[in-house]
Amino acid sequence: MRIERDFIVIGGGIAGLTFALRAAELGSVAVITKDALTESATRYAQGGIASVMAHEDSCDFHVQDTLTAGRGLCNPDVVRIICGEGPARVRELIELGARFSRMGAEGYDLTREGGHSQRRILHANDITGWEIQRALIAAVRTKSNIEIFEHHMAIDLITLAQLDSTILPGDSRDEALGLYALDTQSKVVKTFIGKSTLLATGGAGKVYLYTSNPDTATGDGVAIAYRSGAKIANMEFFQFHPTCLYHPEAKSFLISEAVRGEGGILRLKDGTPFMEKIHPQKDLAPRDVVARAIDYEMKKSGDDCVYLDATHIEGYRARERFPSIYQACLSFGFDMTKEPIPVVPAAHYMCGGVVVDSWGRTNIHRLFACGEVCNSGFHGANRLASNSLLEGLVLAHRAIEKAGEVLKEGGALKHWMDQIPAWNPGSAVDSDESVVVSHNWDEIRRLMWNYVGIVRSDKRLYRARRRIELLQDEISEYYWNFTITKDTLELRDIAITASLIIEGALQRRESRGLHYNLDCPDTDDVNWRKDTVLQDCSPRLITTGKNKAIYHG
């Protein structure tokens, strides 16, 4: 099946839907989501969205807090653009119908989180992401020229390099023409063709054994972009949220940083607070500091967790401010108003990703990326709390300006689009060995947690690299021999994403922000105050489906 639209959007979170809404003013839009439209990382964002809304706050303060958290790797120009344009974009969200918590006639109930010098976090109690997603979906559904393709998983981008033998992946002349996507319900592979393609696929938390991310976060956007020759940067900077509920059935349920913003204190099993000896901001230190401190205390004591104490916050206030967190904890047997709750760090946010400029443009013409999948220079070596929704919102708004310009371009694009072949399954057959997929999936996530986690070493990283290389060989063989499934595609993507995280960590010979290597414990501003850029431009088979007939090199 061949589907042609002016704009192809891969992902249905805040970045993808913001882009789609603005794109609908210019042409036809196809939005592709791997699960239901309601299922995205945006939906699970509890804390809020950072934006300067108070008189005592300023863009300069927000910029400085972001730069401080980013440990010298933020792009100052991008930081100023996103912080500066953020308030206007947030007000547009409000006009769209997003309902943030208010303080009567005084305005919005702004809270504070780790690394912020001011109260600037807008929230909808503790379901901010859900509220933003609700408003965006409602708006998208009113647009007749936006078609939603739920339960469709991106397989690979279609680029000019696949059709023109004079162009290699990563070549400055390469262009994105669309993608192949698997309808996971009908099992049919569809060909999506567009004049601009946006990657807004979110993060890759499922690369790790323990994560706060939804099951959809398997690094798909980074993997397919890398396979197409897009530049990838700073994958070694993976943020671990310090406080996820520790319970065998909780599936790493996130305890928002806003609990500490309202006064929550981290304590050891015996009740001793420990952050006051680690950082001047104590429990509101940046996330990399807090996560490492918890990891250290757990390893030192042998305990399985530490405890977040919010019992000194008035009970009614805690219940009203954090209703979903309160109810979730209660369902697992913890009353946060009466007892400290057990917490552990879990993989939370990918600060690296597909390299883009301040307009969301990648090095492949017609390919844009926004949100967690991209590396815009906004987060640097450590994301400031609640800056993620802001980046997705602002960058998607900017990206459509350039995508609109691309829409007007003429040239030979139509000729090449007509040459795009349908997906070719080759000689692949149905698999009777799906245990291979589940086993490799589990092994990747465990080795990443054990060897490429909060604290790393050269020995652990080299061990992880060797094992990932072997697993990728097995996965590649499986991919080519058997009919593709959602599980197979996700396994292939998390393996590539894991390898990029490992490679970035091995290349960076220092410790900075979210990357801490015991063998290089110091920060090296002379040699390493720069991005770690990875790109696959080697001559190789360029595939259209299972058809191996097109070869470069």
Q: Tell me the mean pLDDT per 10 residues along the chain, length 553.
A: 96 97 97 93 85 94 96 97 97 94 82 89 89 95 97 95 86 92 96 96 94 92 96 96 88 85 92 94 88 90 92 81 90 94 94 98 97 98 94 98 89 79 82 80 94 95 96 89 91 97 98 96 97 78 44 30
Phi first, then psi, for residue 135 (nearest 5°) are -65, -40
Q: What burial letters (b/e) apply to 81-109, b meaning 16+ CB within 10 Å? A: bbbebbbebbeebeeeebebbeeeeeebb
Per-residue model confidence (pLDDT) at position 545: 53
> Residue written as tokens 């290349």?
507
Catalytic site residue from 267, 287, 398, 460: 287
Query: Which residues are CB-neighbours of 34 under 8 A, at least 6 positions away?
Result: 151, 152, 153, 154, 184, 201, 216, 220, 486
What is the full DSSP assignment across 315-366? HHHHHHHSHHHHHHHHHTT--TTTS-EEEEEEEEEE--EEE--TT-B-SSBT
| Cβ(546)–Cβ(428) below 8 Å | yes
Among candidates 439, 377, 420, which has minimal Cα distance to 159? Answer: 420
Per-residue model confidence (pLDDT) at position 408: 85
Per-residue model confidence (pLDDT) at position 552: 31
Residue 465 CB-half CA count within 13 A: 15
Per-residue model confidence (pLDDT) at position 417: 83
Per-residue model confidence (pLDDT) at position 551: 32
Per-residue model confidence (pLDDT) at position 334: 94
Phi first, then psi, for residue 420 (nearest 5°) are -70, 120
> Residue written as tokens 């815009």?
376
What CATH class does 2-237+351-418 carry?
alpha beta
Residue 261 CA to residue 238 CA, distance in Å, equals: 22
Phi first, then psi, for residue 367 (nearest 5°) are -110, 125
Query: Which residues are CB-neighbours of 423 under 8 A, at least 6 positions away?
Result: 155, 180, 189, 190, 191, 544, 545, 546
3-state SS of the chain: helix, strand, coil percent to 5?
Answer: 40, 20, 45
Phi first, then psi, for residue 175 (nearest 5°) are -140, 150
One-letter amino acid of 376: S
| Cβ(274)–Cβ(233) below 8 Å | no
Residue 123 CA to residue 60 CA, distance in Å, equals: 22
Per-residue model confidence (pLDDT) at position 105: 63
Residue 2 CA to residue 180 CA, distance in Å, equals: 10
| Measured CA angle at 129 (ends 217, 86), to 5 deg | 105
> Selecting from 3.10.400.10, 3.30.450.30, 1.10.1740.10, 3.90.700.10, what CATH number does the domain 245-346 have?
3.90.700.10
Domain ranges for the chain, please list them.
2-237+351-418, 245-346
Per-residue model confidence (pLDDT) at position 541: 44
Q: What burial letters (b/e) apply to 515-534, b meaning 16+ CB within 10 Å? A: bbbeebeeeeeeebeebbeb
The CA-based dihedral angle spanning residues 421, 423, 427, 431, taken in that order and rounded to the nearest 10 degrees: 170
The 10 Å Cβ neighbour count of residue 476 is: 12
State yes or no: is 287 an active-site residue.
Answer: yes
Per-residue model confidence (pLDDT) at position 536: 83
Query: Which residues are CB-neighbours of 51 under 8 A, at least 6 positions away?
Result: 62, 86, 87, 90, 120, 122, 390
Residue 507 CA to residue 233 CA, distance in Å, equals: 11
Query: Which residues are CB-neighbours of 76 under 8 A, at least 6 positions away?
Result: 63, 67
